[in-house]
Chain A
Amino acid sequence: MAGERRESSADADLVAGILDGDQRSLARTITRIENRSPGYRDLVSALHEHTGHADVIGVTGAPGAGKSTLVDKLAAAYRDRGDTVGVVAVDPSSPYTGGSVLGDRIRMASNVGDMEVFFRSMSARGRLGGLSTATADAVKALDAFGKDVVLIETVGAGQNEVDVVRAADTVAVLVQPGSGDDVQTLKAGILEIGDVFVVNKADMDGAERTLAELEEMVHLRDRPTRGLDTAHHGAGAVGHADVDGNGDDADGNVAHGDEGNVAHGGDGGDDADTAEWTPPVLRTVGTTGEGVDELIAVFDAHAAHLRDSGELAQAERRRYAEEIRTLVRSDIGALAAAEIERRGGIEALADRVRRRETDPYTVADEVVAPIAACVDAAEE
C-alpha cells in the first residue's frame, strides 16, 4: 500500500548498487518489483531519473515463431558492437496454480557466461496482458543499470501483445513462413503494432509467400494509430503524400522504410511531422543468425526516426500518461477494497443485494462516499 512508504536503507543500497553496476542488486530489485514488496514503489521512483538512455525493443509473435532464439542472436550481435544488453523474457503462468516453467533462458546459448547480458525470466503471474506493469518497471531497472539496449520478449501471441507498445520504443513482430491464414488473423491486432515485421525461419518453405503477403498488408494498411496520434495533422499528411509523393518520396516510403524515412525526417519543417514510418519486412533465420545485422540496422533507423520526427516524445507522453492512470486506478481501487472490507466484505454486501435489502448502486455510493468526501475536503 502507498501509505506504507518507508525509506529503508536496504532500498537505498539497492539503488546505489544498481547505479554501481552490481548484478545482485539489479536482480534483487527486479524480484521486489515482481513481488510488489513493500517499498518497491520508492525503489522505482528513485530509479526513474536515471532512465531514458536505453533503446527498448519489444519482440512478439506466435508461440514457436522463434522469439527466444532470435533474441539470443540479437543480444549477441549487440554485444559484438560493444553494446550492453538487458533481456526480459515473459512466459505464461498457470491459471490454476500460479506456477510456471520459464524456458526462454535455454535458448540463450550465444551469451552464456557473458555477464554484460542480463537475462531475466518473468512469469506473467496471471496479470492481464502479456506484459505486466512489473515488466515495464523491470525495464526501468535495466535502463537505470546502464544497459544500452533492452529487449523484451513477450509470451506467445494473442490479443495481449498490444501491451508491448506501451513498454517498448520499437516493436518487432515475428511471423513464421506458411502461416498464411494466421497472417490474416494478425491483421486486426498485431499488424497494427509492428514497427518492423520479421519472417523468421526464412529458410523454410513458403517464406517468400509470407514475405510477399506481409509486404502487401503493410502497404495497404490504414494506420489506425496514426490517425489517432496526429488527428490535427490528418488532412495535411494526406496532402503531403499526394503532392510530394509523386517523385522520390514514393520510392523512399515504399522500398525499404529505413533509409528513405530517416532522410525524409531530416528535411525539417512540417515535413518532419508527416514523415511516415513504413514498417519494413525482413527475413531472418534465428538459428544461424542470418539477417540479424539487417534487423538491428532497422531498429537503429527506427530509433532515429522516432527522435527526428518527434514521435518519441509523443509516445513517451502517452506511455507515462497510461502509467499514471494505471497507478492511480489501482491505488483508488485499493482504497475502495479497504472500504468494502470495513463494511463487512464484498460477499456480505452482495448477499444484502440478493435479499433485496439494498441495490448495487446504493452500495457503490456508500463505499465511494468517504473517499469522495476526502477529495471534496481537500479541494476546499
Chain B
Amino acid sequence: MSAEQEGRTIRCLVAKVGLDGHDRGAHVIARAFRDAGFEVVYSGLHRAPDEIVQAAVQEDVDVLGISILSGAHNTLVPKVIEGLKEYGAFEDTLILVGGIVPDDDTAALKELGVAEVFGPGTPMSETIEFVRANVPDRA
C-alpha cells in the first residue's frame, strides 16, 4: 500500500457526559459507526464537559456525539459547546445529541449549535446517513 494514498476518514467522538451510567446506546452507536467505516473514539463513562472538550480538540473529530440519558442536557451540552468555542473547534465539528430530550429542549439545543437530536428508536441508518450528509467539509 502506498504511503501516499490519500483518504479522508470520518472521525467521531462518542461521549458519555455527566453522571448517567447507561452506555448501551453509546456502545451500539460506536459499533454501528465503526461498521459504517468511521473511526470512533469512545470516551468512556462519567466524563466531565472539560474532558469531552479536550478529547474532541486533540482527536480532531469531525463529529461529536453526546449521549445523555440523565436529563441534564441543558446544563452539560452548553458547557461542551463553550469549551469547543474556546479552542476554535466549534465551527467545524458536527454536534449530535442522543438520548431522551423533550421537544422544547431540542429546539433550544439546536439554537445553541447542536445539529440534530436523536431520540430512542431512531434507526441506525438514519443517524449514519445524517452524519455522511452533514459532516463538515474541511480543507
Residue numbers of A with Cβ under 8 A of B are 1-2, 10, 23-24, 27-28, 30-31, 34-38, 93-94, 97-103, 105-106, 112-113, 115, 118-121, 123, 125-128, 133, 326-327, 330-331, 333-334, 337
Contact = CB atoms under 8 A, between A and B. Distances in A.
Nearest to B2: A330
A331 B42 contact: no
Contact of B2 (A31, A94, A105, A333): A333
A103 B58 contact: no
A100 B37 CA distance: 7
Nearest to A123: B39
B133 interface: no
Interface string B41-67: 111100110110011011110000000
B40 interface: yes
Interface string B1-44: 11111111101000000000000000000110111111111111
Contact of B42 (A30, A94, A106): A106
B47 to A, nearest CB: 8
Contacts of B100: none
Given A36-B5, A327-B3, 11 more contacts: A1-B4, A27-B60, A28-B60, A99-B33, A101-B42, A105-B55, A105-B59, A113-B48, A121-B41, A330-B4, A334-B4
A23 B4 CA distance: 25
A97 B35 contact: yes
A115 B4 CA distance: 31
Interface string B111-139: 00000000000000000000000000001
Nearest to A17: B88
Contacts of B7: 35-36, 125
25 contacts: A24-B57, A24-B60, A35-B9, A36-B7, A37-B6, A99-B35, A99-B36, A99-B39, A99-B40, A100-B34, A101-B31, A101-B40, A102-B39, A102-B59, A105-B55, A106-B43, A112-B50, A113-B48, A113-B54, A120-B58, A120-B59, A123-B9, A123-B39, A127-B1, A337-B2
Nearest to A111: B54
A98 B38 CA distance: 7
B27 to A, nearest CB: 9
Nearest to B47: A112
B76 interface: no
Q: Size band of the B side of the interface?
A: 35 or more
Contacts of A106: 42-44
A113 B9 contact: no
Contact of B60 (A31, A37, A94): A31
Contacts of A23: 57-58, 87
A288 B73 CA distance: 34
Nearest to B42: A103
A27 B59 contact: yes
B94 to A, nearest CB: 15
Contacts of A10: 139
Contact of A126 (B1, B33, B57): B1
Nearest first, the 8 closest Cβ-Cβ pairs linking A and B are A106-B44, A27-B60, A99-B34, A330-B3, A36-B6, A133-B3, A99-B37, A31-B60
B76 to A, nearest CB: 15
Contacts of B31: 101
B58 A118 contact: yes
A113 B50 contact: yes
B89 interface: yes
A275 B40 CA distance: 46
Given A94-B34, A101-B34, A106-B42, A121 B6 contact: no
B92 to A, nearest CB: 10
B127 to A, nearest CB: 14
A101 B30 contact: yes
A326 B3 contact: yes
A29 B12 CA distance: 17
A27 B30 contact: no
A125 B2 contact: no
